[in-house]
A and B are shown apart, each in its own frame.
Chain A
Amino acid sequence: MIKFGSKVLLLLTSTLLGVIIISMLSSYFLFREVANLQVSHDKIEKMLFLRQYEYELLRTSKAFSEAYPNPLHGQSRAEFDNWFNVLWSRAQSLNTGIVGKDVTLTGFDYNQVQNALVVIDKIVYPTKAINQDQALQIRELFELLTRASHLYQQRRDSLYREVELKKQQTVFSYYRNSFFLSSLTLLFGFIVSVFLYRSNKSLLDMRSKLEQRVEMRTMALQEKNLELKNEVTERYSVEEQLVKSREQIQQAKEQAVHKLNFDPLTQLASRVLFIDRFSQSLIRASRDKSKVALLFLDLDRFKYINDTLGHSVGDQLLLKTAKRITKALRQGDTAARFGGDEFAIVLPGIKGIKHVEHVVNRIHRELSAPYNLQGQQSFISASIGIAIYPEDGDSTEVLLRKADNAMYKAKDKGRNTYQFFTQQMEVESNNRRILEAALHVAVKNKEFSVHYQPIMDMRDGSIKAAEALIRWQNKQGEHVSPAEFIPLAEELGLIVEIGEWVLRTACEEAVAWQQQNGKSTILSVNLSFRQFQNNDIPKIVAKILVETGLSAKYLSLEITEGLLMVDDQMIMQQLQQIRDLGVALAIDDFGTGYSSLSYLKKFPINVLKIDRSFIQDMTTDNSDADLVRGILSLARTLKLTVIAEGVENQQQADFLMENDCLYTQGFFYSKALASNDFQIYMQKNLQQQKQQSHTG
C-alpha cells in the first residue's frame, strides 16, 4: 500500500515538476517574445522625432505665411527665423545620429527635406525682400514637405498597426498556452496535494490506530500489572495468613502440649507430665542409689464443699490448695493434679522416712490454715498416701497404685492424716480384687440368698416385721459377710442388681409366708443410695409389688442417713413417690451419721431404726441411755415408729421396754434366718401367741 502510494507520489511529483518547468519555459519564451515585440526606444524616439518635425514644419510654414511677402507684425519675420532655425536643426538630425538615420532608412525622404530647406534658405536670406512668386514657391515647398511627412506617417502608422495586431495575437496565444499550462500545473498540484493529504491522512490514521493500539496494549498491560499486583498482595496476605495460621497451630500445639502437661486450673503438672517426671526421677534415683517418695493427696470432704458451695468455689479451693502445696515443697519436688481433688507429689532425693514425714507435716500445716471461701472461713484437711522407691516398687505404675492404696487407708484411718504403704495393704488390695471377681460371678450365678430377722413387738412378743438380709455363700461354701462385700458391690455398682434381686426375692417369699401362715408380716428391705441414682427405684418397687402380689402396706424400705444428707431434689421426689405407693420408709442406723434432725420433718419418713451401737452400751453408758431416750421422745413427738436394733440381752430389752420402745430386733430374739427357718419360727411364734391368748 505504502510502496504503491510512494510510487504514485513519485510519478505525480515528477509530472508536476515537468509541468512547472514547461510552464516556466513557456513564460520565458513569452517574455522573450513580448520583449522582442516591444517597440524599441529608437522607434518611439523616431516617432516622437517625426511628430516634432511635423509640428515644427507646420509652425514654420505658418510663420512664413505671416512673415512673407508682407509681415503681419514686427515680430513675424523673427519668429519665422526662429522656427526655420528650429526646423533646420531638426532636418540636420535627419541625417545624423541613430534616430535620423533610422528614419531615413524606413523610407523618409531626407534629401527632399534637405533640398527644400536649402532652397528656402537660399531664397529667403540673401535677398532681404522676396517676391510673390518666391513666396508661393516656398509655400509649395512647405506643402510638399507637409504632404510627404503625412504620407510617411500614414504608411508608418498602418505598419505599426499590423505589428501591433500580430503582437497582440502572439501575446494572446502565449498567454493562452501559459494559462493552460498554469491550469495543468494547478490541477497536478491539486492532485498531488490531495494525494499527499490522503497518504498523510492514511499515515495519520495508521499512526492514530497504532497509538490507539499502543494505548490499548498499555492499558491491558496496566490492567495485567494491577492484577499481578493484586495477586502479589493476595499472595502476601495468604502467606501472612499461612504464617499466622502456622503460628496459631504452633500456639495451639503449645497450648495442647501445655494442656496435656499442665492442669489448666492450678497450673500444676498434669498426670502425663507428672508420670514423665516421676519416671525420670526414678531413673535418676536408681543411678544415684537414692530414694523417691510418691505422695498421693486427697482433700477430705471436698465433694461436700463442691456440692454445697458450688463448683466455682470448689475450683477456687483447689487453686488455693495447689498454691499451698507448692509452697510447702522443696525445689526439685513436683506437684501434680490428677483431676478432682487428687494431687500427686514427687519428692526425689529422699534420705529416709523422717525426711518424708517432715515434708508431709509441712503440707498438712500449710493446708490447715483457714480458707476464705465466699467471705466465710472454711477449713479443709487432706489424706495422704505415701509409697517409697525402691522399697515399695520400682515402676511408676506400681508406686502410683500403692500410694493410692495408702491414701485410701489414710482416709479410712479418719482423715487429715498420712499413711505409708505397707505390705498389709497389698494383701488387702489383693483380697479385694479376689472378692471383686467373686462378686461378679456371684451376681451372675445367683449365689445369694435372703435371710430374715424378726422385728418383735415388745408388748406381746409377736413378730411385727422381718428385715430381709442378704447372705452370700461362695462356690467354696464359705459365707462372705455383707459388711465385706456390700460396700464393694456399692462401689462397683453391682448393688443395683443385687438390691433388686433381694427385694423381689423377699417380696415373693413374704407372699408365700402369708399364704402358708395366714398372717401378714411387714417386710423390711434395705435400699442402697446407689439404687436411687438411676431415678427409677419407685417404678421398680411398684413393678415388683405388682408382680409378686405383695400389698404395699406390708413393705418397708430402709435407707441410710447419708442418703438424706445429700439433700437432692431427685432423691426427695423418689422417696415421696415410694411413700405414695403406700410403702413405708425407715431410716437405718439412725444416729451414726452426721445427720440433722430437720430432715426427719422434710422427708416422708415413717420409721427410725436406732443404731445397734447405742443399744449395746445404753445399759452401761448413761449418755447413750439419754440419747436413746431422746430419740424415743423425739419419735413420739414426730409420730414416728422406732425400732431398736442389736438387742442382745434381757437388760437391754427391759430398758427399752421401760422407755416405751415398742419394737426391737436382735440376737436376743433371733438371728437372721433362712426363709424356711423363718417360716417355722413364725409358726412357732403364732402358736405361742395363741397359747398366750388362751392362757391370758
Chain B
Amino acid sequence: MINKIILSLLVVTLIGCSDDPNSQATVTSDNSANVSTIKFSAPTDTTLLTITGEITQLNSKNELLLDRNALLQLPQVTVSTTTLWTDGKSEFTGPLVRDILSAAGNSAKHISAIAANEYAVEIPIEDVQQYPVILALEKDGKILSIREKGPLWVIYPWADHEELRQDKFYSRSIWQLKRINLHD
C-alpha cells in the first residue's frame, strides 16, 4: 500500500516535471485542414506503403497503395530529434501519420505496422493523434535509403517529449515500414 502510494506520488512528480511546451515539430505546408479531401490515385512509382483495413479510400483491390508522390501530397512535417539508433540530433521529414490515416478515411483505433524484416508492432491511434508522429521520408534533407532504415521510418518526437522516451514508444518506432493494417 505504502509502496503504491509512494510510486504514484513519484509518477505524478515525474509527469508534472515533463511538461515541455516547445514543440520542435514544424509543418512546412499549411493545408492540414484539407488532408481528408486528398485523393490518392493508383501508384505510378514503386509502392512504398500499403494500407489495408478500416479505410474508405482504396486505389487497389482492398488496399490503398502509396508511392513517394502520393506521400508527398500530404503536408511534410520535420521532426528534429535524436533516436536510439542514430548519432546526434537529426531532422526527419515526412507526412504525419494522422494525416495519412485521415486521408485514407480511417475509422479504426489500432495501427498494425509491418516492416520489411517482418517486424510487426501495434501503434495506438492516440499516439499519432496526441503527438506529431511522422512517416519520415527524409533524414537531414536526404531521402532515406533502405540501408538508412528507409524508405519509411516512424519517428516520434522524442526530443520534445520526455514521456515518449520509453521502451514501448521506442519499439513502435518501426523502420523500413512496408504495410499498415487498420483495425479495432
Question: Which residues of A come within 8 Å of B, CB atoms?
Answer: 23-24, 27-28, 30-31, 41-42, 44-45, 48, 52, 55-56, 59, 82-83, 85-86, 88-89, 92-93, 96-100
Contacts of A85 in B (CB 8 A): 145-147
Q: Is the CB of A97 within 8 A of B116?
A: no
Is there an interface contact between B6 and A44, defined as CB atoms closer than 8 Å? no
Query: Quick check: B146 and A86 within 8 Å, CB to CB?
Result: yes
**A-B residue pairs in contact (CB < 8 Å), sample of 21:** A24-B2, A41-B166, A44-B167, A45-B167, A52-B117, A52-B119, A55-B118, A56-B117, A82-B146, A83-B117, A85-B147, A86-B176, A89-B146, A92-B148, A93-B85, A93-B86, A96-B86, A96-B87, A97-B84, A98-B84, A100-B85
In the assembled complex, how far is the CB of residue B72 from the closest CB belonging to chain A, in whole angstroms?
22
Q: Which residues of B contact A27 (CB under 8 A)?
A: 2-3, 6
**Is B171 among interface residues, defined by CB-CB distance under 8 A?**
yes
Q: Mark B155-184, 1 if CB is under 8 A from A, else 0.
A: 000000000011100110001100000000
Chain B neighbourhood of A88, CB < 8 A: 146-147
- For A27, the closest partner residue in chain B by CB is B3
Minimum C-beta distance from A154 to chain B (A): 22
Could you say which of B7, B85, B119 has the most chain A C-beta atoms within 10 Å of its C-beta?
A: B85
CB pair A28 B6 closer than 8 Å = yes
The one of B7, B83, B84, B149 that contacts A42, using a Cβ cutoff of 8 Å:
B84
Q: Is A59 touching B117 in the complex (CB atoms < 8 A)?
A: yes
Known: A45-B171, A96-B85, A96-B87. 5 other contacts (CB 8 A): A24-B6, A30-B3, A45-B170, A83-B117, A93-B85
Partner of B84, one of A45, A83, A92: A45
Main secondary structure of the interface of B (DSSP, over half): loop
Q: Which residue of chain A lies nearest to B171 when distances are taken between CB atoms in the complex?
A: A48
CB pair B116–A82 under 8 Å, yes or no, is yes
Complex Cα–Cα for A55 and B116 (A): 12
The answer to whether A41 and B170 touch across the interface, beta carbons within 8 angstroms, is yes
The 9 closest A-B pairs by CB, nearest first: A85-B146, A97-B85, A41-B167, A93-B85, A88-B147, A27-B3, A96-B87, A99-B84, A89-B149
In the bound complex, CA of A257 to CA of B117 (Å):
148
Complex Cα distance A96/B175, Å? 15
Distance between B144 CB and nearest chain A CB, rounded to angstroms = 9
Question: Which B1-47 residues sit within 8 Å CB-CB of chain A?
Answer: 2-3, 6-7
A residues less than 8 Å from B87 (CB atoms): 96-97
Residues of B within 8 A of A59 (CB): 117
Could you mark each residue 110-145 of chain B with 1 if its beta carbon is under 8 Å from any beta carbon of chain A, else 0? 000000111100000000000000000000000001
B6 with A99: CB separation less than 8 A: no
B residues near A97, Cβ cutoff 8 Å: 83-87
CB-defined contacts of B167 to chain A, threshold 8 Å: 41, 44-45
Known A-B contacts A31-B7, A52-B117, A52-B119; A89 and B147 likewise in contact (beta carbons under 8 Å): yes
Closest residue to A23 on the B side, CB-wise? B2
Report chain A residues within 8 Å CB of B176. 86, 89
Interface residues on B, range: 20 to 34
Contact partners of B148 in chain A: CB under 8 A: 89, 92
Give chain B residues whose Cβ lies under 8 Å from the Cβ of A24.
2, 6
A26 → B minimal CB distance (Å) = 9
Report the minimum CB–CB distance from A191 to chain B (whole Å). Answer: 20
Q: List chain A residues, Cβ under 8 A from B119.
A: 52
Chain B residues positioned under 8 Å from A92 (CB to CB): 147-148
Minimum C-beta distance from A171 to chain B (A): 12
Cβ-closest chain A residue relative to B1: A27
Q: Which residues of A contact B7 (CB under 8 A)?
A: 31
Residues of the A chain whose Cβ atoms lie less than 8 Å from the Cβ of B3? 27, 30-31
Q: Write out the residue numbers on chain B whose beta carbons fall within 8 Å of the beta carbon of A44.
A: 167
Could you say which residues of chain B place their CB within 8 Å of the CB of A30?
3
Instruction: Report the nearest B residue to A44, measured CB to CB.
Output: B167
Residues of the B chain whose Cβ atoms lie less than 8 Å from the Cβ of A45: 84, 167, 170-171
Q: B59-73: which have CB < 8 Å to A?
A: none
Find the A residue at minimum CB distance from B4: A27
**Which residues in B have their C-beta under 8 angstroms from that of A28?**
6
Contact of A86 among B83, B86, B116, B165 (CB under 8 A): B116
Which of the listed residues A30, A83, A98 has the most CB atoms from chain B within 10 Å of its own CB?
A98
In the complex, the chain B residue whose C-beta lies closest to that of A48 is B171
Query: Within the complex, what minimum Cβ distance (angstroms) separates A36 from chain B?
Result: 14
Please, which residue of chain B has its CB at the minimum distance from the CB of A34?
B3
Docked Cα-Cα span, A434 to B86, in Å, equals 182
* A residues in contact with B165, CB < 8 Å: 41
**Bound Cα distance A42, B84 (Å):** 8
State how many angstroms separate the Cβ of A682 from the closest Cβ of chain B.
164
The residue in chain A whose Cβ has the minimal distance to the Cβ of B87 is A96
Choose among B3, B86, B117, B167 the residue with the greatest number of A CB atoms under 10 Å from its CB. Answer: B117
Closest-by-CB residue of A relative to B10 is A31
Bound-state Cα–Cα, A92 to B170, Å = 18
Contacts of A89 in B (CB 8 A): 146-149, 175-176
Given A24-B2, A86-B176, A99:B146 Cβ within 8 A: no
Inter-chain contacts of A52 with B (CB < 8 A) = 117, 119
A91 CA to B148 CA in the complex, in Å?
A: 10
Complexed CA–CA distance, A23 and B87 (Å)? 45
Q: What chain B residues lie within 8 Å of A48 (beta carbons)? A: 171
In angstroms, how far is the closest chain A Cβ from the Cβ of B88? 9
Q: Mark B76-88, 1 if CB is under 8 A from A, else 0.
A: 0000000111110
Instruction: Using A85-B146, A86-B176 as known contacts, say yes or no to A99 and B116 having CB atoms under 8 A apart.
Output: no
Minimum CB distance partner of A30 in chain B: B3
Residues of B within 8 A of A98 (CB): 84
How far is B176's CA from A88's CA once the two chains are assembled, in angstroms? 12
CB distance from B141 to the nearest CB of A (A): 18
Q: How far is the CB of B154 from chain A (nearest CB, A)?
A: 15
Compute how far the CA of A45 lies from the CA of B166 in the bound complex, rounded to whole angstroms.
Answer: 10
Per the bound structure, the CA–CA distance linking A82 and B85 in Å amounts to 20
B11 to chain A, nearest CB (A): 12
CA distance A86 to B119 in the complex (A): 11
Kindly provide the distance from the CB of B166 to the nearest chain A CB, expressed in whole angstroms: 7
B6: A residues at CB distance < 8 A: 24, 27-28, 31
Inter-chain CA distance A28–B2, complex, in Å, is: 9
Interface centre among A23, A55, A86, A97 (most CB of B within 10 A): A86
Name which residue of chain A comes closest to B149, CB basis.
A89
| B178 CB to nearest A CB, Å | 10
Kindly list chain B residues whose C-beta atoms are within 8 Å of the C-beta of A55. 117-118
Q: Tell me if B117 and A99 are in contact (CB < 8 A).
A: no
Determine how close the nearest CB of chain A comes to the CB of B34; give it in whole angstroms: 35
Cα(A609)–Cα(B87), bound, Å? 194
Tell me the bound Cα distance from A88 to B86 in angstroms. 14
Chain A residues lying within 8 Å of B84, measured Cβ to Cβ, are: 42, 45, 97-99
Closest CB in chain A relative to B83 CB, distance in Å:
6
Closest to B116 in A: A86
Task: Tell me, rounded to whole Å, the shortest Cβ–Cβ distance linking A476 to chain B.
Answer: 153
**What is the chain B residue whose CB lies nearest that of A178?**
B3
In the complex, which of the residues A30, A41, A42, A99 has the most CB atoms of chain B within 10 Å of its own CB atom?
Answer: A41
CB distance from A93 to the nearest CB of B (A): 4
Contacts of B175 on A, CB cut-off 8 Å? Answer: 89
* Distance of A42 Cα from B2 Cα, bound (Å): 29
A100 and B2 CA atoms in complex are apart in Å by 39
Minimum distance in angstroms from B129 CB to a CB of chain A: 24
Inter-chain contacts of B171 with A (CB < 8 A): 45, 48
B163 to chain A, nearest CB (A): 13
Separation of A100 and B3 alpha carbons in the complex (Å): 35
CA gap between A28 and B84 in the complex, in Å: 31
Q: What separation, in Å, do the CA atoms of A100 and B149 have in the docked complex?
A: 14
CB-CB nearest in chain B for A28: B6
